[in-house]
């Protein structure tokens, strides 16, 4: 049997055995209920059936007509909204009013109607103003009896544009990206602690009931270890991914919150280091599980590794986030146990050079290969000890291949 096939079989076994287990289903259900409650409870207590009032500034006759149409089209039903119009002398004053929060949005007339929005402008208001502006242009065209090539531009939405009135839009975008980087660190920390405990307890349980002895009669220790890590990682990624996707959909549709756009390059970097960070720490938890002699003692045995995990998270979210350009931040980028928590934060502020990313990636891959080999040897040496906890060095030296 080839090494790839062996790892694949162990991965498939983990997916079937643990993916169909009651504990996995209950943890998934718990997270879903937790996320659903976080969305439903604020809405339950926050929506009292009152009608929200949106203030809209208008500049010019055409924008005033579009505003009046938007005002008429507003639902004005309990739990919905209505629109109040405020005439403005020029577009500069209207934009300033949006920035200062005096109005929620503004309409600026002309050949192309501009919808001025701010960072707090509700999506439903922006969509309503765009629809009203297009409808008003169509009404004027039909009333004049002149249907020309402009109809294509109007119907295609080209005669209405949305413009951000914030003068510091770039700074706000950078702040939002930085917030996303911190969210990525929190998700990585949660994934490592959750799935790491799955790997830890899974290895210890198999050691206690001697399932490992049967598996190791046909597989090399590192193959069994790699398959277990990949299988549990895929289950964890499926669980966190589905919950995150549901959360994003619920936030956009139920709470009507505009989520910040995420740079594709940053998203790729975060995903890569998310996976690499998980592999490093999950491998460590698997080795610790092999030297623990029973499940009750597994958490105590893993305490030093938990300290390292927490330290890496705290370094990334506290120190590096405020000092991304220092020498220490550069050094921490090249250290495998801290790189997953450090590099995404530095990448979002453009503080990490390409050579640092490549070097850190190569170091990380090499470290993972050596770690899996070493952890497999510790696994082989510790998995057959059922009475007492053995030290990692003793397990490594006593392993037989």
Task: Judge if 20 and 151 occupy the same domain.
Answer: no
Task: Judge if 74 and 134 occupy the same domain.
Answer: yes
Name the token pair of 145: 């009896």
Residue 138: what pLDDT?
74
d(CA 115, CA 9): 57
Residue 401: what pLDDT?
46
Q: Are 362 and 191 in contact (CB under 8 A)?
A: no
The last residue of one of the domains, among 140, 167, 194, is 167
Residue 288: what pLDDT?
78
The last residue of one of the domains, among 118, 144, 167, is 167
Contacts of 89-96 with CB under 8 Å at 24 or more apart are 89/59, 90/59, 91/59, 91/116, 93/57, 94/57, 94/58, 94/59, 94/165, 95/165
Contacts of 248-255 with CB under 8 Å at 24 or more apart are 250/35, 250/36, 250/39, 251/39, 252/123, 254/39, 254/43, 255/39, 255/42, 255/43
What CATH number corresponds to the domain at position 132?
Answer: 3.40.190.10
Whether the model clears a pTM of 0.75, i.e. scores above it, the answer is no
Residue 102: what pLDDT?
86
Residue 366: what pLDDT?
92
pLDDT one digit per residue (tens) for the chain, 401 residues: 677 788 888 888 878 877 777 777 777 777 667 666 655 555 555 555 567 889 998 888 778 888 888 888 888 777 688 899 988 888 888 888 888 888 888 888 766 778 888 877 888 888 888 888 888 877 777 666 665 555 545 555 556 777 776 655 445 555 555 666 677 777 778 777 877 777 777 777 776 666 666 776 777 777 777 788 888 888 877 877 777 676 666 656 655 555 555 567 777 887 888 888 888 888 888 777 777 666 667 777 778 888 988 898 888 888 887 788 888 888 999 999 898 888 888 887 777 888 888 999 999 999 988 887 777 777 766 666 655 566 666 666 665 54
Q: Are 290 and 298 in contact (CB under 8 A)?
A: no
Task: Judge if 256 and 390 occupy the same domain.
Answer: yes
The last residue of one of the domains, among 152, 167, 182, is 167
Task: Judge if 287 and 358 occupy the same domain.
Answer: yes
3-state secondary structure at position 57:
strand
Task: Judge if 146 and 244 occupy the same domain.
Answer: no
3-state secondary structure at position 200:
helix
Residue 363: what pLDDT?
94
Q: How many residues does the chain have?
A: 401
Domain housing 149:
49-167
Q: How far, CA to CA in Å, does 162 sit from each of 10, 66, 107, 132, 145?
A: 53, 14, 10, 13, 28
Domain count, the chain: 2
């Amino acid at each position: 049997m080839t090494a790839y096939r062996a790892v694949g079989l162990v991965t498939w076994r983990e997916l079937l055995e643990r993916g169909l287990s009651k504990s996995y289903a209950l943890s998934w259900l718990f997270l879903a209920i937790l996320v659903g409650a976080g969305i439903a409870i604020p809405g339950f207590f926050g929506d009292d059936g009152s009608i929200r009032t949106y203030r809209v500034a208008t500049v010019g006759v055409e924008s005033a007509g579009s505003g009046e149409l938007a005002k008429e089209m507003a639902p004005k039903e309990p739990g919905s909204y209505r629109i109040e119009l405020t005439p403005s002398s020029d577009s500069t004053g209207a934009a300033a009013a949006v920035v200062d929060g005096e109005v929620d949005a503004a309409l600026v007339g002309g050949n192309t109607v501009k919808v001025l929005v701010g960072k707090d402008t509700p999506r439903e208001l922006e969509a309503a103003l765009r629809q009203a502006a297009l409808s008003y242009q169509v009404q004027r065209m039909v009333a004049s009896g002149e249907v020309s090539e402009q109809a294509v531009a109007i119907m295609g939405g080209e005669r209405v544009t949305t413009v951000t009135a914030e003068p510091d839009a770039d700074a706000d975008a950078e702040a939002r990206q930085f917030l996303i980087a911190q969210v990525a660190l929190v998700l990585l920390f949660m994934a490592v602690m959750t799935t790491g405990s799955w790997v830890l307890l899974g290895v210890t349980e198999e050691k206690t009931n001697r399932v490992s002895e049967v598996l190791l009669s046909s597989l090399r220790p590192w193959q069994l270890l790699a398959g277990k890590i990949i299988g549990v990682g895929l289950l964890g990624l499926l669980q966190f991914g589905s919950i995150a996707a549901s959360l994003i959909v619920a936030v956009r549709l139920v709470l009507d919150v505009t989520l910040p756009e995420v740079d594709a390059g940053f998203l790729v970097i975060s995903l890569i280091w998310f996976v690499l960070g998980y592999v490093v720490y999950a491998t460590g938890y698997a080795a610790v599980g092999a030297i623990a002699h029973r499940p009750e003692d597994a958490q105590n045995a893993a305490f030093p590794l938990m300290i390292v995990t927490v330290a890496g998270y705290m370094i990334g979210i506290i120190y590096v986030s405020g000092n991304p350009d220092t020498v220490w931040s550069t050094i921490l980028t090249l250290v495998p146990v801290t790189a997953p928590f450090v590099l995404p934060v530095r990448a979002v502020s453009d503080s990490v050079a390409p050579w640092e990313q490549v070097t850190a990636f190569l170091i990380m891959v090499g470290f993972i290969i050596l770690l899996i080999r070493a952890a497999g040897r510790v696994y082989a040496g510790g998995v057959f000890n059922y009475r007492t906890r053995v030290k990692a060095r003793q397990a490594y030296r006593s392993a037989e291949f």
